[in-house]
Amino acid sequence: MTRNATNTITPPYVRFNPHRCKACWVCLDACPAGAIGKISFLWHRHAVLAKPSACTGCLRCVRACPAKAFSPITTKP
């Protein structure tokens, strides 16, 4: 578990870029671990890695997201 430039916790397997997110919520159904949650205010909506410690690295979110907001972490910091 590491902290990224925005000081949010990142699981060891995937990075998430909220600026790419279109709030379609496909990834919430795709994640079998329930690691992904929602930020859902009227003008501020995007997915969030709400439970990074639950992430198993299955990468289903990477494959499911049409906006390519998730990317696999392939190298250790």
Binding site for ligand SF4 (CB under 6 A): 13-14, 21-27, 30-31, 33, 35-36, 47, 55-61, 64-65, 67, 69
Contacts of 54 (CB under 8 A, 6+ apart): 33, 34, 35
Q: Give the chain's length.
A: 77
Q: How far is the CB of 73 from ligand SF4 (least distance, A)?
A: 10
Measured from the CB atom, the residue of 6 and 27 that comes closer to ligand SF4 is: 27
Sequence-separated (6 or more) residues with CB below 8 Å from residue 18? 39, 46, 47, 48, 69
Q: Which runs of consecutive H residues, i.e. helices, occur in the chain?
A: 26-30, 60-64
Give least dist CB 24 to ligand SF4, A: 4
Shortest Å, Cβ 7 to ligand SF4: 19
